[in-house]
Amino acid sequence: MAASEPPQAIAIAAGSLEQALLAIARQTGVQIIFSSELVHGIVSPGLQGRHTLDSALQAALAGSGLNARRVSPQVVVIEHRVAVVPGIPSEPKPQDVEVATIVREEVIVTASRRPERMQVTPIGLSVLTNAGLERRGVDAIEDFGRLLPGVMLFQANRNRGVFTIRGIATNVFGSNSQDPVSVYLNETPLVDSFGAVVQPDLRLFDIDRMEVLRGPQGTLFGSGALGGTVRIITNKPDASTREALGRVDLGRTHGGGWRQRYDAMVNLPLVADELALRLVGYHRDEAGWVRNITLDTDNSTRDWGGRAALRWQPGERLALNLEMIHQDSQPEDGDSWDPSLGRFRKSSLIPEGRPSTLTNYHLAIDYEIPGVASLLSATSYQESATAVFTQGSALTSLGVPLLAEHEPWRTRFFTQEFRLLGAREERLDWVAGTVFVDRNSMVRFNIRLPGLAKELGQPLPTENLISSIIRLQSQELAVFGDLGVQASERWRLFGGARLFDTRVHYREPRRQVLDLDTLALQEFALANDNTDHGLTWRAGLSFEADADIMLYASVSKGYRIGQVNPNQAAEGSSPPGQEIPESYEPDTTLNYEVGLKSGWFDQRLLLNLALYHIDWDNIQIDASRPSDGLSFITNAGRAISRGLELEVAVEPLPGLSADLAVTLQDASIRSIELEDGLRAGASAGDTLPGSADFKIAGSLQYEWPAARGRQLYARMDAQYVGASPAWFSGAVGTPRNAAYSNVNLRMGLVARRWQLGFYIENLTNNDDQILRNSYVGGSRVNSLRPRTIGTRLKFFY
């Protein structure tokens, strides 16, 4: 409600604060979010007469020690006025309690494109808050994939990870098709739609939260959300307080060297309660442990980056957020190694690291239209440049290595979204919007055969097998809407739809190819276009058995955009019946899900459960033609994924907390249909690449008071991930990713202005081959970082 709106009649009987807050929410049409544990046992005085929302909340909370904070014009969060750690002197900063205080977080998410409590959002959803990331020592996206149910992250090289959710994937190393999981930084999709060789390994310092939405999210998050969506949401400037934070992390890796991590943040109110600036910076210098015996290099990395954000809120109706993010990542060499050369050894003629830079600009303007809706305009522009270096298997008949040297791989994304969030009413809430995404990519594509002339004993016009400059543009325009209806006190219906139109343009003005039969250099130009449109939707219902137990059932659809295949041979040169299709269509997933979200024993036990069945149709799959081995993508089959996801969080005793995440999963190909003369590596019955049938992650933390009002804590995190195929059954050798486990230990001391912690990561020094690639370098594998022992010092102002 805007401050300029007149008071309204509000009548509240004296009694429990919980009932008073619910009554205020009903009578004002504003969502008030709080936990039952927070208000348990607090009595609120009665209230009669005409009041504004602010004055009504102030009267209801009088003497409670609680505060009402606006998340948006239509959403209010009830919280402690001051976060106090037992035994610690008065008024610590909020960051002081990130690690050590066991308080069940009442997490606010925007997975449905409007703020609401995580425990009443009727989808499979996991959230890692800033405090949760801190507790687990998570520093980058590579660290968190195995922590959550239904989620996997495969990372053969830094700055190229492939997320899979609920087993939906046909390739865990990247392909020319769009990735099966959409990844967002605030409102910007991070990954290109074609030849998505880049997934920046963002450092997760000073973020608000990560939301992982499991199951197709095509209605609200667009293309690429076949299996789900990962969202990284940064902290915003706060004009009400001045604060600063610094962190130093020093560690030593077994068989490697020192790991150095430095972070800093400062939040500066420029105009009290109106204008604020937030500055964030970080630097990483991490020694490697995989040595390239040919070049005497290793997989060490130096990263630096930062963020500058400005928030201006001249009144309750208008807020502007301007943010710039930059990251520069410089890995020296790749992370995969060759077991035939010894543990953590590899041999390649070029360093296989993927140096990458990313710059993202984001402007969000939020304006409240009184009594109607909040209007959000989100504008993003992003540039990235990544060098892709890979040594492939030697050409058997020639005995020379194959070097892929694509530099630079440049992308430019522009995203504009307008979104209306309806003024929340007692029985109705809605969101509607339109979004336009324009992606442009340019790559200097080069595959080289060094030493070929010497091997053949004759001069050649070039040792480049293929050389070209590729330009690709994809545009996506969509309109969407989503509606929630409170059918009765306990039943809620929800549904939505998205209409999309996509256009893809592929250009190669001059491709040069060395004909290995005639040893002549061929040149030709390639051009291709594709257009698609379609509809995605979701629908479901939820039932609140009581204030802390919700059951839901839903159906949701996701899609990837249809795109083009490079015409990989000159016109008329394809063998009869083996023509590569010029384009391929969107593929879609349809997810059927039932779930439970529940809190027990005054929220000291949270238990969430989801059961799902996914039909994946018209699959975009990698294929090839036998005559020349040229690869392409086509729509060629159907798959099914089904499983169970369980999350438990419990506080059985004061100071003791535990978490558990379990995944049971079965994802496989049901049918493959290809034109005669073409072939795919997949066959009916194959398990989808990267799909492990069992995965479990858990943690245990205990805290106890120390001298001078300080606090000690000890924590253990452990995960087990089952084995999974790295490729389909038709791949050479059919490599399989090994099952593996990981254990991390942390302990530390928390004071009012500082924290000191010690940790051991990969306690057992596990070197299982968790990702196997039979293509790159013949036979390469990836494993966990070896045992790393370190200390982390954090201080606040």
SS3 sequence of 413-464 = EEEEEEEEEECCCCCEEEEEEEEEEEEEEEEEEEEECCCHHHHHCCCCCCCE
Q: What is the pLDDT, as a whole number, of residue 589?
A: 95
Instruction: Give me the mean pLDDT over the 94-102 stretch.
Output: 37
Which residues lie across from 623 on neighbouring strands?
632, 680
More confident residue, 15 or 356: 356
Q: What is the pLDDT, as a whole number, of residue 121?
A: 87
Q: What is the pLDDT, as a whole number, of residue 174?
A: 74
Instruction: Give me the mean pLDDT over the 115-131 stretch.
Output: 84
Q: What is the pLDDT, as a whole number, of residue 391?
A: 86
Contact 84, 90 (CB under 8 A): yes
- What proportion of the chain, given as a percentage, has pLDDT over 90? 45
- Band of pLDDT at residue 20, cut at 50, 70 and 90: confident
- What proportion of the chain, given as a percentage, has pLDDT over 70? 88
Which residue type, as a one-letter code, is found at position 436? F
Residue 458 confidence (pLDDT) above 90:
no
**Quick one: how many helices (H) and strands (E) in the chain?**
6, 50
Q: Which residue has the tokens 């040149």?
A: 523
Q: What is the pLDDT, as a whole number, of residue 39?
A: 72
More confident residue, 453 or 246: 246
End-to-end CA distance of the chain: 34
The b-or-e profile of 227-238 (16+ CB within 10 A means b, else e) is: bbbbbbbbbbbe
Q: Which residue has the tokens 């066959």?
A: 683
State whether the Cα torsion 217-220-225-230 is positive or negative. negative
How many Å apart are CA 132 and CA 138, to the nearest integer?
A: 9
Residue 2 confidence (pLDDT) above 50:
no
- Band of pLDDT at residue 778, cut at 50, 70 and 90: low
Average pLDDT for the chain: 85
Q: What is the pLDDT of residues 386-437, one digit of tens each?
A: 888 888 766 656 778 888 888 878 889 999 999 998 876 778 889 999 999 9
Alpha helices in 247-325 (DSSP H): none
How many Å apart are CA 178 and CA 193, to the nearest integer?
A: 4
Residue 83 confidence (pLDDT) above 50:
no
Q: Which helix (H) or strand (E) holds 141?
A: none
How many Å apart are CA 180 and CA 195, to the nearest integer?
A: 13
More confident residue, 110 or 441: 441
Closest by CA position to 731, among listed 770, 673, 692, 679: 679
Joined together, the tokens standing for residue 247 give 């962190």
Q: What is the pLDDT, as a whole number, of residue 453?
A: 86
How many Å apart are CA 505 and CA 595, to the nearest integer?
A: 41
Residue 733 confidence (pLDDT) above 90:
no
How many Å apart are CA 541 and CA 486, to the nearest integer?
A: 10
Instruction: Give me the mean pLDDT over the 444-448 stretch.
Output: 90
For residue 414, CA distances in Å to 191, 530, 772 come to 12, 20, 35
- Fill in the DSSP letter of residue 548: T
Q: What is the CA radius of gyration of the chain?
A: 27
Q: What is the pLDDT of residues 676-695, one digit of tens each?
A: 666 777 888 999 999 999 99
Joined together, the tokens standing for residue 741 give 């486990």
Neighbours of 753 (CB within 10 A): 13
- Band of pLDDT at residue 85, cut at 50, 70 and 90: very low
Closest by CA position to 526, among listed 479, 485, 580, 575: 580
More confident residue, 788 or 504: 788
More confident residue, 746 or 48: 746
| DSSP string for residues in 592-640 | EEEEEEEEETTTTEEEEEEEEEEEEES-EEEEE-TTT--EEEEE-EEEE
How many Å apart are CA 395 and CA 135, to the nearest integer?
A: 48
Q: What is the pLDDT of residues 294-304, one digit of tens each?
A: 999 999 999 99
Question: Which pairs with CB-CB distance under 8 Å and at least 24 residues apart come from 509-512?
Answer: 509/469, 510/468, 510/469, 511/466, 511/467, 511/468, 512/462, 512/464, 512/466, 512/467, 512/468
Q: What is the pLDDT, as a whole number, of residue 84?
A: 34
Closest by CA position to 597, among listed 654, 657, 554: 554
| DSSP string for residues in 383-410 | EEEEEEEEEEEEETTTTEEEEEEEEEEE
Dump strand ranges (E) for 515-604.
521-546, 549-560, 563-564, 583-584, 587-600
Q: What is the pLDDT, as a whole number, of residue 383?
A: 92
Q: What is the pLDDT, as a whole number, of residue 98?
A: 38
Instruction: Give me the mean pLDDT over the 57-76 stretch.
Output: 76
Q: What is the pLDDT, as a whole number, of residue 97?
A: 37
